[in-house]
Structure 1
Amino acid sequence: MIRELLKYANMPGAVSFGGGTPDPETFPRHQLAELAREIIENEYRYTLQYATTEGDPELIKQVLILLKRVYGLDGFSPENVLITVGSQQALELVGKVLLDPGDCVIVGDPEYLGALSAFRMRDARFLVVKFEKDGPDLNQVEAHLKRMQKENQLHRVKFIYIVSNFQNPSGITTSVEKRKALVELAEKYDVLIVEDDPYGVLRFRGEHIPPIMSFGGIDRVILLNTFSKILCPGLRIGIVVADKQIIRKLVLAKQGTDLCSPSLTMRLAARYLERYDILEQIKPAIELYRKKKETMIEALREEFSDVADIDWTDPDGGLFIWTTLPDVDTMELFKFAEQRKVFYIPGEAFKPYEEPSSSMRMSFCLPTFEQIREGVHRLKLAYMDYVEAKGLKCR
């Protein structure tokens, strides 16, 4: 669905809140262009050759430095890290290594559809928990684990999947209390946690929260990350941090998938991280996304002030707002929005099981400020069209 919607983003006059595509103006293109020339000319024996499956040692060295700076995670070795072609490949490899057909994964509702897609490829069964304002409903998590234990099927629950910061699609951040409690449940029932954190650095309000891995350790938690949102997605660089034995299995699976990630993009990222402070370089982009998020929320307040019970999240970072219009099927609403040339992702796409949703994911990172305001205005018009066509009362 997102792939199809990205086509609409190029229509003349269209406003797309669809894909979580970073603003290209935030990409350090001049620095990367200079570095690319250097590494092709001076390091061609590496950059134009096959790489090892594990990834560029120079990039892994920089990743270990960032793990300490960003997360406070220290004491890891290069054998704890795997470089993948984006975090989507990391999800696919995790599913390939850990899941057999019929195995279970605990996931949220709503949930990142890229993860759902990767796990569906392994014929996984989803044990679904609702997301609350501070993360997944842990009572539901434990209820699933207890039931599977009672049925002597606990061994089929392979891991709990969670996007811990500014979740895609909801924008919700799991609280520190729930992170600790989730680890306690994982320890109690002896299951892994797969913590996906592509957006954690993009915080524009509030204090940094330690990752789940800092509470559960590398024996209990697999940490996924990416440079797509903080550097640029075109490099296609993802990261897996895990126990050495798990990394070894992922390496074997990756060998059968693509042999290795591109040497050129890995070394380009490594030299960028070596020469520039990425946490400083990303600050203007974070400020831009903060202003865009506030613009979208202000536009929602203005345009939908007369719609009772509408709700949206107000994330502390990331790229998405989750908007809910009660009594509306946002898949049906999409047809009216398409006529108005405004696009979003219907909430149904993020459900582990196919069922209607009254929610939608709205990404604020790519449109301009003017497009955000115009797009929300068009969305209100589309909503009014929907209400009229369905014979509903505008509440």
Structure 2
Amino acid sequence: MTDKFSKIAKRMKSNIIRELLKVTGKPGMISFGGGVPDPETFPRHEMAEISREILENEYRYTLQYASTEGDPILKEEFIALLKRENGIEGLELDNLLITVGSQSALDLVSKIFLDEDSIYFVSKPVYLGAASTFSLRSRQYVYMNLTEDGVDLDELEQSLEEIKTRGDIGKVKFIYVISNFHNPGGVTISLAKRKRLVEIAEKYDVLIVEDDPYGDLRYDGEPIDSIFKIGGKDRVLLLKTFSKILSPGLRLGVVIGNHDVIRKMVMAKQAADLCTPSLTQRLAARYLQRHDIMAQIKPTIALYKEKKDLMLAELEKNFGDMEGFHWTRPDGGLFIWFTLPEGFNTDEMLEMGKSENILFVPGIAFSLDDTCKNSMRLSFCLPPKNDIVEGVRRLKKVIMEYGKERNLL
């Protein structure tokens, strides 16, 4: 029956992080793999209380089909949150769509914008969730290399000018960026670059898709205005999520943008899954009404900062004096991008890592052209602090063994 698969089905590949999760339960395994929040940070007692109440008292809503657009109470609360915490004003209910997590939102973006000949811009390295869904629709991507303060905008503008010169600017559908604490890169786009990015998008009449799942998890430095706030809803589509600040198990994402774009996404969602679960939406809505979510996550931020600083310190202790090894130093989020000297292949190293009970995500997973082979993504949010120390030690053992086998060290 495989000969009956569509072209899109034939291009599908297994998500390496989903595969790694299958072995994280192995006794003694330490995982720096998935960006899985620490379960001890979930407000389970508060959510249990709310869950009982909304099941007993709001069952006509919570146990029924919901509208495709999303729970209006949740949307109202999120609009208030965006105004209070991010200074974003002027939003109405039809500017928001509630999705089944951000991955669903990315899939809807690809469905409504990308044809086989469509052109889109992504960072290098690129978030694999975005890469996997965008590449199913079109392989006409253009890279923007990632630097310490975000994507290389000189490359972006040069590429756009070349595309315009050959008469294909109408095929450019969007520029996809992660504004804060990039996954996997860990870097944040500076304010100057955010403003210039909007100017470039205006010049070439291109949409910006701003993915911001980690912006609320800032450990150092001051918050930066979102690209959405700078560029507005007619130029920028903003993706947010509850997965990192409340619970990934709720599977709740939010898309904010121009009402015409949102309406088209609603149509695509109706064909995909009809609606986001009403129970989890109302649970999040009542939680936002009763609790200051930003105050509630302060202990989470303090915990993740400790873990992040510890992993950075252990990387420095183990690799700081080794030539050709370098890593990003994020101010927030969940990830560190660790780059080894040329010649190392972290995909090949993965099996060695499994045998030493240490997991990471090979860099090739974050490319569309099988590059980034000498890099890996390390996540510090889930492992206990003693496992971070031991995990980096195991990682060094794997790297040293691989390097010596191939005469790289």
The answer, yes or no, to whether TM exceeds 0.5 is yes
Q: Which residue of 2 aligns with 1:344?
A: 360
2:200 counterpart letter in structure 1:
L
Q: 1:382 aligns with which of 398, 402, 408?
A: 398
Q: Which residue of 1 aligns with 2:388?
A: 372
How is 1:232-251 mapped onto 2 (pairs within 5 angstroms)? Answer: 232-251=247-266
Partners of 1:32 and 1:306 lie apart in 2 by: 47
**AA in 2 matched with 1:26:** T
1:15 match: 30
The offset of 1:121, in angstroms, is 2.0
Hey, what's the Cα distance between the residues in 2 that align with 1:70 and 1:14? 38
After TM superposition, the structure 1 stretch with the greater mean CA deviation from structure 2, 52-61 or 327-336, is 327-336
The reply to whether residue 311 of structure 1 matches residue 311 of structure 2 is no
Matching of residue 46 in structure 1 with residue 61 in structure 2:
yes
**Structure 2 SS opposite 1:8:** coil
**Structure 1 position 123, deviation (Å):** 2.2
Letter in 2 for 1:314: R
CA distance in 2, matches of 1:44, 1:380: 53
1:329 aligns with 2:331: no
Partner deviation per Cα, 1:233-291 (whole Å, 9 max, x = no partner): 00000000010100100000000001100000000000000000000000000010000
Determine the C-alpha separation between the residues in 1 that align with 2:368 and 2:220.
Answer: 30
Q: 1:204 matched to which residue of 2?
A: 219
Counterpart-to-counterpart distance in 2, 1:32 and 1:46: 17
Q: Distance in 1 between matches of 2:321 and 2:397?
A: 13
Bigger shift: residues 344-353 or 39-48: 344-353
Question: What's the offset of the Cα at 1:124?
Answer: 4.0
8 Å CA contact 1:204, 1:316 repeated in 2 = yes
- Residue number in structure 2 paired with 1:127: 142
Percent of residue pairs identical: 54
Task: Give the secondary-structure state (helix, strand or coil) at the position aligned to 2:137.
Answer: coil
Partner of residue 57 from structure 1, selected from 72, 75, 85: 72
Is the contact made by 2:218 and 2:333 (CA closer than 8 Å) also made in structure 1?
Answer: yes
Q: Who is 1:140 aligned against?
A: 155
Residue 69 of structure 1 deviates from its aligned partner by 1.6
List gaps (5 residues or longer) in structure 1: none
Match of 1:80 in 2: 95
What secondary structure, in the 3-state scheme, does the structure 2 residue paired with 1:246 have?
A: helix
Q: Match for 1:372: what amino acid? A: I
Contact 1:55 1:83 in 2 (8 A): yes
Shift >2 Å, 4+ stretches? none
* Secondary structure class of the residue paired with 1:224: strand
Quick check: 2:345–2:374 contact (8 Å CA) kept in 1? Answer: yes
1:284 paired residue number: 299
TM-score by length of 1: 0.98
Q: Note the C-alpha offset of 1:389.
A: 1.4
Q: Which of the numbers 92, 100, 123 marks the counterpart of 1:108?
A: 123
**Alignment deviations for residues 214-249 of structure 1 (CA, whole Å, 9 cap, x no partner):** 111111000000000000000000000010100100
Give per-residue Cα distances to partners, 1:119-157, cap 9 Å, x unaligned: 112124111110110001111101110111011100110
TM superposition shift of 1:335: 2.4
2:84 is equivalent to residue 69 of structure 1: yes
Unaligned runs of 5+ in 2: 1-15
- C-alpha separation between the residues in 1 aligned to 2:22 and 2:329? 28
The amino acid that maps onto 2:38 is D
Cα 1:171/1:356, change in 2 over 3 Å: closer
**1:92 counterpart = 2:92:** no
SS of 1:121's partner is helix
Displacement of 1:30: 0.5
AA partner of residue 92 (structure 2)? S
Q: Is 1:269 paired with 2:284?
A: yes
Superposed, 1:152-163 pairs within 5 Å as 152-163=167-178
Q: Amino acid of the residue matched to residue 337 of structure 1?
A: G
**1:352 Cα offset (Å):** 2.2
Task: Give the number of aligned pairs.
Answer: 393
- State which drifts further: 87-96 or 63-72: 63-72
Please identify, of 30-39 and 345-354, the stretch whose mean Cα deviation from structure 2 is larger.
Answer: 345-354
Match for residue 363 of structure 1?
Answer: 379
In 2: Cα distance, 1:124 partner to 1:269 partner? 37
